[in-house]
């Protein structure tokens, strides 16, 4: 495998993370909106804890480098491989990369990244967002040891995006998939209604909210109204309706 580009190595140093090159093993369409990308190389170094993501160099235009971040869905350290669930139902640099990736392609990767990890002290875990969050939600859920209670509320663009997972006995999961139908991508109404219908379990729980920038802010407000304070909510906006993410992979922050 080649070395990561100098620009990638510099950025990783500044971020206090690691740079490496991984190779595409395979891509598999999972649903109309999601493609799984399996990568090989430096899995131990790059993939971190459940909730962490990796930053991929998905496009280079002269000196301009466009990077996108994807949560790690699963890791196989023995095979030195890891998988990402990438949204490919829209047109974008990252989704183009995932759709066009073929076995043997090499990609600069920086990781592990991200600060949202499982709150080990929580009595229950609530995951809220859109399909871009499923990879993170399911890796975090799979890391929980029984007995645990998990609630997952996800807005989907197509009925076949309702991907489920098999869990060990003792991890109780309630999954609610909300179809977006005619609603715009920055309309929080579907998730708000699903959340309002949800009975939160007793005890101190933790909510993880990811997805579209403005939807996320509305959901966080709704969780405050349900009695969760900021220490019990981990929000992270992944993308922003009507705007491409910045070249470093983050959605723009102005409201
Ligand atoms: C910490 C972190 C973790 C992330 N993890 C994941 C992950 O596991 N899986 C994942 O798919 N994404 C994840 N994202 C988002 C991802 O990094 C990209 O920003 C996103 O996929 C859009 O990139 P793009 O280049 O395809 O589109 P862009 O070039 O950024 O945007 C092009 C257009 O597509 C629209 N768009 C972007 N994303 C979506 C979407 N999901 N649905 C509909 N329209 C969209 C934009 O509004 C814009 O109009 C994560 C982001 C962060 C910050």
82 SS3 class: strand
Q: How many CA atoms lie within 13 A of 205 on its CB side?
A: 19
Please report, rounded to a whole number, the percentage of residues in the chain having pLDDT higher than 70: 100
Residue of the CA atom closest to atom 38 of ligand 1:
239
Ligand 1: which of 97, 112, 245 to mutate, most ligand atoms within 8 Å of CB?
245
**Predicted model pTM:** 0.97
Average pLDDT value over all residues in the chain: 95
Of 5-14, 89-98, 243-252, the one with minimum mean pLDDT is 243-252
Q: How far is CA 102 from CA 99, 113, 188, 195, in A?
A: 9, 24, 35, 39
Q: What is the mean pLDDT of residues 68-86?
A: 98
- Report how far ligand 1's centroid is from the alpha carbon of 207 (Å): 21
Strand stretches in 120-196, DSSP E: 124-130, 148-156, 171-179
Q: pLDDT band for position 169 (50/70/90)?
A: confident
- Joined together, the tokens standing for residue 44 give 């131990």
Ligand 1: which of 239, 240, 245 to mutate, most ligand atoms within 8 Å of CB?
239
Nearest to 91 by CA among 242, 237, 247, 254: 242
CA gap 132, 85 in Å, rounded? 8
Task: Sort strands 34-40 and 53-61 into parallel, antiparallel or unpaired.
Answer: unpaired
Q: Which atom of ligand 1 is nearest to the CA of 245?
A: 30
162 pLDDT exceeds 80? yes
Query: pLDDT tens digit string along 133-154?
Result: 999 999 999 999 877 899 999 9
Could you tell me if 36 and 27 are in contact, meaning their C-beta atoms sit under 8 angstroms apart? yes
Q: Which atom of ligand 1 is nearest to the CA of 71?
A: 8
Q: pLDDT band for position 255 (50/70/90)?
A: low
All domains of the chain in start order, with CATH: 6-113 (2.40.30.10), 124-239 (3.40.50.80)
**Which residues does ligand 1 sit against, CB inside 6 Å?**
53, 68-71, 85-87, 90, 92-95, 114, 132, 135-136, 185, 236, 238-245, 249-250
Q: What is the mean pLDDT of residues 116-123?
A: 95
Higher per-residue pLDDT: 104 or 254: 104
> pLDDT value at position 166?
86
Q: pLDDT band for position 21 (50/70/90)?
A: very high
Ligand 1: which of 39, 92, 216 to mutate, most ligand atoms within 8 Å of CB?
92
């Amino acid at each position: 495998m080649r070395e990561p580009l100098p620009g990638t190595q510099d950025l990783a140093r500044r971020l206090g993370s690691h740079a490496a090159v991984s190779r595409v093993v395979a891509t598999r369409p999972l649903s109309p909106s999601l493609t799984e990308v399996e990568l090989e190389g430096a899995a131990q170094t790059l993939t971190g804890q459940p909730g962490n993501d990796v930053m991929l160099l998905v496009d280079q235009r002269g000196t301009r480098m466009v990077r996108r971040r994807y949560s790690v869905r699963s890791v196989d350290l023995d095979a030195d491989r890891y998988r990402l669930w990438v949204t490919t139902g829209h047109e974008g640099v990252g989704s183009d990369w995932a759709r066009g990736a073929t076995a043997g392609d090499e990609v600069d990767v920086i990781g592990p990244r991200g600060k949202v990890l499982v709150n080990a002290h929580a009595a229950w875990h609530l995951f809220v967002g859109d399909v871009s969050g499923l990879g993170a939600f399911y890796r975090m859920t799979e890391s929980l040891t029984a007995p645990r209670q998990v609630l997952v509320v996800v807005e989907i663009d197509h009925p076949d995006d309702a991907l489920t997972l098999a869990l060990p006995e003792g991890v109780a999961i309630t999954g609610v998939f909300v179809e977006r139908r005619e609603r715009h991508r920055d309309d929080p109404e579907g998730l708000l209604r699903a959340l309002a219908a949800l009975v939160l379990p007793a005890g101190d729980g933790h909510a993880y909210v990811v997805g579209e920038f403005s939807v996320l802010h509305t959901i966080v407000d709704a969780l405050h109204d349900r009695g969760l304070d900021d220490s019990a909510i981990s929000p992270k906006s992944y993308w922003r309706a009507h705007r491409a993410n910045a070249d470093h992979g983050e959605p723009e922050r102005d409201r």
